Chains A and B, each alone.
Chain A
Amino acid sequence: MKIAKILIVLAAAVMLGSPSAARATIHDQESTPPAPKADKEKTADKEKKAEKEKKPKKEKKAKKKSNVPAPDEGPSATDTDAAPPAPADQLEPESTGTRVTWKQHPSFRIGSAFRMDFQAKFQEDVRDTYVGEPELARTDLHRNRIGVQGRLFKHIEYEVERELTEKELDAGRNPKSPWKDVNVDLTYIKNAQVKIGKFKIPFSLDQLTGVTHNDFVYRSLGANYLAPSRDIGVMVHGSFLKHGLQYWSGVFRHDGDNARSSRIEGGDQTVAARVTGTPFRVMTQGLGEIELGAAFAISQLSDDSFRPNGLRGRTIMTQHMFYEPVYVKGERRRWEADVDWTAGPASARAEYMGVTDDRQQQGIGDDDLPDARARAWYVSGTWLLTGEKKERPVKAAGDFLQGGWGALEVGARYERLWFDSVGGTDLPSRNPRAETILPTADRALTLGVNWTVNRFIKVQINGIREQVEDVERNPVPGGAAFWSRIVRLQFVL
C-alpha cells in the first residue's frame, strides 16, 4: 500500500505541475512528428501527421493506398495505450455544420464540436484440437463487437464498446460484463490526461495490444491469465521527451476481467502503473526501434467468496483448466517487464511477468500459508514476407481485391505459464489449501501466418503445440503434447 500511496502522490504532482509541461508537449508535437512506433498510439500520431501533411496535397496522397489508414488503425476502444484522435480543429478545420463522412470509419460530425465514429470488429474462428476434447466448438463466433468513439469539443474524448457474443456473460454470480471500453478521456493537459471509466489496467504489452492488431490469434498465456485486463477506474497518462517516455498510472475498483470468472471473485482495489521508453533511440538508428516497458499492479484480495479466489491457468484454445485457483487473502502483487523491437518488415517481442498472492489464514487449520506464485514469459517474432513495414495493424501495400496480394506475414511465439508457491515445507499437493503448491506449467509454441487482405479483412492461421507439465492435469492422456489448429477471419469496420 505504501507504493500505492507514493503513486497517487506522484500522479497528483504530475497533474498539479502540468500546465507548463502541457504547453511544452503541445509545442513539441506540433514542431516534431512523433517517433515511429509499431502500435496504435504511434499509428494515431502518424495519422495526425499524415492528415496535416495531406491537406495541401490531398489528391496526390489519396492515390497511395498504403497511406490510407485501416479502419482499426485509429485509437481503439480496446487499447489503453492508444493516443487520442487528432484534435478536431486539426483534422478538418475547414468543415462546418452537421455531416456524415466515411474515411476510417462511418462518422457523424457537428462542425468541430462533436464527432462520433462507428466501429465494428468481427472475429470468426474455425478450429480443431486433440481427439477426445468434447467441449470445443469447431466453429466459434469469437468476437463480435460494436462501438462508437469520438470527441466532444477539443478536449473530451469518449469511447463505448460492447461485445455481442462473448461467453460467460450470464453464468454464476460474478459474470463478465459485455461492456468493454466505456470511458471518457480528458485531454486538457497533454502529459497528464485523465481517463475515467472502464478500460484496460496498464499492465502487459501483449494485453494492451489491440485485439485486432495481435500477431497471433490468441494472446500469450501470461497476458490472458496473469495480466488484469479491463476494469473501472481513473488513470492519469501522458508522454514526455517526444514520446520517448510514456506513463500510465491509475486506481481501479477491482483487478480486471482476467482475474475473475463466474466462479472467481477476483481482487479488489488495484493500483497500477506502467512506463515505456525508447532509451536507445539515438544509438539504434538504422536498427529499428526498441521500446522497453515495465509495470506493476497491487490489488487487495479478500476471502469473502466460499470459492478459491486465486488465479487460474488454462490451456490456450481448449481452455482446459490445468491449474485450479487456490484460496488467497491479503495482497496481490503483479509486475512485468517487456521489450518491443521493430525494424522494417521484422518485429520481435518478449515479456516476463510475475504475480504473488498472499494466503493469510488460508490453511486447513486457518494458518498462514506461503505465497502462491504465478509467472509467465514469451518471446515472439514476425516477418512480413511481402516487404511492408511492420506496423500494428499491418497495412498491405496492395489491396487483394484491387489486384494486389495483400500483406503476408509469418510469426512464431514460444511461451510458458507456470504456478507454484514461494517455499513451503510440506509435501507438494494440488489441493487449494496446500502449504506447498504442486508446481505445474503450460509450455506452448505458436506458429502463424497472417494474411492482411486489405484494410478491412485479415486471415490468421495458427498451429499451437502445447504441453502441460503436470501429467495429471494434462488434458491428453499420458501427459503428451498436443496440437491445436485455428483459422480466424477478421473483419474490421
Chain B
Amino acid sequence: MGSLKHSWNTSRGLLCALCGLCVLLGSLLAPALARAQDDPAGALFDDGTLHDIRLTISPRDWESLKEHFQDNTRYPADLRWRDVTARGIAIRSRGNGSRSGSKPGLKVDINYYSADQRFLGLKNLILRNNTQDASNMRELLSMKFFRRMQIKSPREAFARLFVNNVYAGLYTIVEDIDKDFLQKNFNENDGYLYEYDFDESTRIPYAFEYLGSDPDKYVPLPFKAQTHETSPRADVIERFIWTVNEAPAASWRQRMDEFLDLNAFMRYLGVENFLAEEDGLTGDYGPNNFFIYRFENRNLFTFVPWDKSNTFWASPDYWIFRNIKDGPENFRNRLVLRALTYDDLRDEYLNTLLTCADSALEDGWLEQEVSTQYDRIRSAALSDTIKPFSNEQFEAAIEDLKTFARNRSDAVRRMVAEERPQP
C-alpha cells in the first residue's frame, strides 16, 4: 500500500514538473511563435543562413527566359523553400544594368496568376543576380547598414538557386518594396508609392528639376506609380518638385515641411554617402535607385533605398560631396543642393556621416559583417560557374570590401572635419 502511495506521489510530482516545464517552454516560445505568425517571411530573410531556393519550370521556358532576358515576359513555375511550396507562381527577368541572359535576375510574382496566393505571406520576391558586384555582397551589406541606422530598407539574405534541381548560382533574396513592405514598415499601405525609373533609353538624368506644371511630366517617368496606378496623383509630385525648386527662400523650409522631413532626408543621404554609393541620390548618373512613398492622407514623402550594388565604390576615400560640389551641373540633385544651403541641415548630414563612422567601427561591425557573410557564401560563390566574374575577382572584391570597412570611418571623419570650421 505504502509502495503504491509512494508511486502515486512520484507520478504526481513528475506530472507537476512536466506541466511546469510546458508552461516554461510555452512562455519562452510564445513570443517567437507570435513573431513567426506576425512575419512568416522573417525566416526567409534571415541573413544568418545561406538558403536554398528551388524553382521548377519548363526547361523550354527557362531557356526562353534567358534568351529573351530583355523582355518582361512571365513564365509559370513552382517555388520551394525548405518545406514550403507555392505552385503556379510567375517569374520574369528583371533589372536594368544587371539584366543578364546567362544568370538572369528574377522577379518572383507569387500572386500573378492568383491574387490570393501568398508565399510566407509575401506577394513578391526579388532574386538578385549580383552581376554588377563581384563580391555579391554590397547590396546586402548596404541594406543591413541602412536598417542599422534606423532607415527603412528591404531585408535580404543569400540563397543558392536551383532551377529544376540544377544549381543556377548564388543569388540574394530581396524583399520587394510593395504594399506588404509598407504595412510592415509604416503601419499603412494605402499611400502613393513611386519607383524612380531611370530612363535607360535616353540616359538623360532627372535631378529633381522643375519640369513645368503638367503632372504627366513626372509620372510615369521619372516616377513610376507602384500603387494607385490608375490614379497616381502626379499633381502632388509636381507641387513637391515646384517647392523644391521655386519656393522663395524665406518660406522654403516651411513649405517643404508639407512634403518632406528634411532632417530624415539628410540622414538618408548621410548613410548613403557613407556607403560611397556611386549610383544613388547623388550618383554619377544623376539621382537613381530609390522609391518615394507619400503617406496616406498627407502630402509627406519619405525615401526608401533600392538597388545598392554600387556602394563601397572605388576606395574608402570616396568623397562625401561627390556630385554635390563637383560633377556635371545637370547631374546634381536640386533637392540635395538646396537643402545643404541650410546650416542645420548641413550639420545633420555631417553628423549622420559621423554617426555612421562610429557605428561601422563599433566592435568592428562592418568588417566583421563582411567576414561573416564571406564565410557563409564563399563555397556557393566559388561553385557558381555562371557568374560573370572569376573566382579571383570574387576574392579580390572581398578584400576590397574589408579594406573599405576598415578604413572608411577614419576617411569620413577626416572629410567631415575638413568641412567644419576649426574652433
Residues of chain A touching chain B, judged by Cβ–Cβ distance below 8 Å, are 132, 134, 303, 306-307, 327, 362-366, 429-434, 472
Q: Is B58 a contact partner of A429 (Cβ separation < 8 A)?
A: no
Smallest CB-CB separation from B67: which chain A residue? A306
B372 at the interface (CB under 8 A from A): no
| A132-B230, A364-B56, A472-B114 given; A433·B76 CB < 8 A | yes
Q: Is B58 a contact partner of A366 (Cβ separation < 8 A)?
A: yes
| A134-B230, A364-B77 given; A429·B114 CB < 8 A | yes
- Bound state CA distance, A222 and B323, in angstroms? 60
- Bound state CA distance, A489 and B321, in angstroms? 64
B186 at the interface (CB under 8 A from A): no
Provide the residues of chain A in CB contact with B183, threshold 8 Å: none
| A429-B114, A434-B76 given; A306·B230 CB < 8 A | no
B64 at the interface (CB under 8 A from A): yes
Total cross-chain contacts (CB, 8 A): 46
Q: Is B114 a contact partner of A366 (Cβ separation < 8 A)?
A: no
Interface of B, secondary structure class, is mixed
Provide the residues of chain A in CB contact with B90, threshold 8 Å: 431
| A134-B230, A364-B76, A434-B88 given; A429·B60 CB < 8 A | no
Q: Is A430 a contact partner of B64 (Cβ separation < 8 A)?
A: no
Q: Is B64 a contact partner of A431 (Cβ separation < 8 A)?
A: no
Provide the residues of chain B in CB contact with A362, threshold 8 Å: 58
Smallest CB-CB separation from A324: which chain B residue? B113
- Bound state CA distance, A365 and B115, in angstroms? 24
List of 5 A-B pairs having minimum Cβ-Cβ separation, nearest first: A306-B64, A431-B76, A430-B113, A431-B88, A431-B113
Residues of chain B touching chain A, judged by Cβ–Cβ distance below 8 Å, are 56-61, 64, 67-68, 73, 76-78, 87-90, 113-115, 230-231
Q: Is B73 a contact partner of A307 (Cβ separation < 8 A)?
A: yes
- Bound state CA distance, A472 and B231, in angstroms? 20
Provide the residues of chain A in CB contact with B73, threshold 8 Å: 306-307
Could you list 30 examples of A-B contacts with CB < 8 Å? A132-B230, A132-B231, A303-B60, A306-B60, A306-B64, A306-B68, A306-B73, A307-B73, A327-B58, A364-B56, A364-B57, A364-B58, A364-B76, A364-B77, A364-B78, A365-B56, A366-B59, A366-B60, A429-B88, A429-B114, A430-B88, A430-B114, A431-B76, A431-B88, A432-B76, A433-B61, A433-B76, A434-B76, A472-B114, A472-B115
Provide the residues of chain B in CB contact with A307, threshold 8 Å: 73
Kindly provide the distance from the CB of A428 to the nearest chain B CB, expressed in whole angstroms: 10
Kindly provide the distance from the CB of A140 to the nearest chain B CB, expressed in whole angstroms: 20
Smallest CB-CB separation from B76: which chain A residue? A431
Given contacts A132-B230, A306-B61, 11 further A-B contacts (CB under 8 A): A306-B67, A306-B68, A307-B73, A327-B58, A363-B58, A364-B78, A365-B56, A429-B114, A433-B58, A433-B76, A434-B113
Provide the residues of chain B in CB contact with A431, threshold 8 Å: 76, 88-90, 113
- Bound state CA distance, A359 and B67, in angstroms? 23
Provide the residues of chain A in CB contact with B56, threshold 8 Å: 364-365
Provide the residues of chain B in CB contact with A132, threshold 8 Å: 230-231
- Bound state CA distance, A132 and B232, in angstroms? 12
Provide the residues of chain A in CB contact with B88, threshold 8 Å: 429-431, 434
Kindly provide the distance from the CB of B380 to the nearest chain A CB, expressed in whole angstroms: 26
- Bound state CA distance, A306 and B113, in angstroms? 18
Provide the residues of chain B in CB contact with A364, threshold 8 Å: 56-58, 76-78
Q: Is A429 a contact partner of B57 (Cβ separation < 8 A)?
A: no
Smallest CB-CB separation from B117: which chain A residue? A429
Provide the residues of chain B in CB contact with A363, threshold 8 Å: 58
Kindly provide the distance from the CB of A436 to the nearest chain B CB, expressed in whole angstroms: 11
- Bound state CA distance, A429 and B77, in angstroms? 12
Kindly provide the distance from the CB of B143 to the nearest chain A CB, expressed in whole angstroms: 31
- Bound state CA distance, A307 and B88, in angstroms? 16
Provide the residues of chain B in CB contact with A429, threshold 8 Å: 87-88, 113-114
Provide the residues of chain A in CB contact with B113, threshold 8 Å: 429-431, 434
Provide the residues of chain A in CB contact with B59, threshold 8 Å: 366
- Bound state CA distance, A434 and B87, in angstroms? 10
- Bound state CA distance, A112 and B78, in angstroms? 69
Smallest CB-CB separation from A426: which chain B residue? B87
- Bound state CA distance, A327 and B113, in angstroms? 15
Interface-central residue, B61, B64, B76, B78, by most chain A CB under 10 Å: B76
Provide the residues of chain B in CB contact with A306, threshold 8 Å: 60-61, 64, 67-68, 73
Kindly provide the distance from the CB of B67 to the nearest chain A CB, expressed in whole angstroms: 7
- Bound state CA distance, A101 and B230, in angstroms? 54
Provide the residues of chain B in CB contact with A365, threshold 8 Å: 56, 58
Provide the residues of chain B in CB contact with A472, threshold 8 Å: 114-115
Provide the residues of chain B in CB contact with A434, threshold 8 Å: 76, 88, 113
Provide the residues of chain B in CB contact with A327, threshold 8 Å: 58
Provide the residues of chain A in CB contact with B78, threshold 8 Å: 364
Kindly provide the distance from the CB of A161 to the nearest chain B CB, expressed in whole angstroms: 34
Smallest CB-CB separation from B63: which chain A residue? A306
Kindly provide the distance from the CB of A335 to the nearest chain B CB, expressed in whole angstroms: 29
- Bound state CA distance, A26 and B56, in angstroms? 65
Provide the residues of chain A in CB contact with B57, threshold 8 Å: 364
- Bound state CA distance, A185 and B66, in angstroms? 47
Kindly provide the distance from the CB of A133 to the nearest chain B CB, expressed in whole angstroms: 9
- Bound state CA distance, A365 and B59, in angstroms? 8
Kindly provide the distance from the CB of B162 to the nearest chain A CB, expressed in whole angstroms: 15
Provide the residues of chain B in CB contact with A366, threshold 8 Å: 58-60
- Bound state CA distance, A365 and B73, in angstroms? 19
Smallest CB-CB separation from A473: which chain B residue? B115
Kindly provide the distance from the CB of B72 to the nearest chain A CB, expressed in whole angstroms: 12
Provide the residues of chain A in CB contact with B114, threshold 8 Å: 429-430, 472
Interface-central residue, A134, A429, A431, A472, by most chain B CB under 10 Å: A431
Provide the residues of chain A in CB contact with B230, threshold 8 Å: 132, 134
- Bound state CA distance, A303 and B63, in angstroms? 14
- Bound state CA distance, A431 and B76, in angstroms? 6
Smallest CB-CB separation from B73: which chain A residue? A307
Provide the residues of chain A in CB contact with B231, threshold 8 Å: 132
- Bound state CA distance, A196 and B76, in angstroms? 41
- Bound state CA distance, A433 and B60, in angstroms? 12
- Bound state CA distance, A425 and B60, in angstroms? 24
Provide the residues of chain A in CB contact with B60, threshold 8 Å: 303, 306, 366
Smallest CB-CB separation from A131: which chain B residue? B230
- Bound state CA distance, A303 and B88, in angstroms? 20
Provide the residues of chain A in CB contact with B67, threshold 8 Å: 306
Kindly provide the distance from the CB of A366 to the nearest chain B CB, expressed in whole angstroms: 6
Kindly provide the distance from the CB of A272 to the nearest chain B CB, expressed in whole angstroms: 30
- Bound state CA distance, A433 and B57, in angstroms? 10
Smallest CB-CB separation from B78: which chain A residue? A364
Kindly provide the distance from the CB of B217 to the nearest chain A CB, expressed in whole angstroms: 18
Kindly provide the distance from the CB of A30 to the nearest chain B CB, expressed in whole angstroms: 60
- Bound state CA distance, A366 and B230, in angstroms? 38
Interface-central residue, A306, A327, A362, A366, by most chain B CB under 10 Å: A306
Kindly provide the distance from the CB of A305 to the nearest chain B CB, expressed in whole angstroms: 9
Interface-central residue, A132, A366, A430, by most chain B CB under 10 Å: A430
Provide the residues of chain B in CB contact with A303, threshold 8 Å: 60
Kindly provide the distance from the CB of A281 to the nearest chain B CB, expressed in whole angstroms: 51
- Bound state CA distance, A306 and B73, in angstroms? 9
- Bound state CA distance, A319 and B64, in angstroms? 28
- Bound state CA distance, A303 and B59, in angstroms? 13
- Bound state CA distance, A364 and B67, in angstroms? 18
Kindly provide the distance from the CB of B69 to the nearest chain A CB, expressed in whole angstroms: 11
Kindly provide the distance from the CB of B421 to the nearest chain A CB, expressed in whole angstroms: 55
- Bound state CA distance, A47 and B90, in angstroms? 58
Smallest CB-CB separation from B90: which chain A residue? A431
- Bound state CA distance, A430 and B109, in angstroms? 13
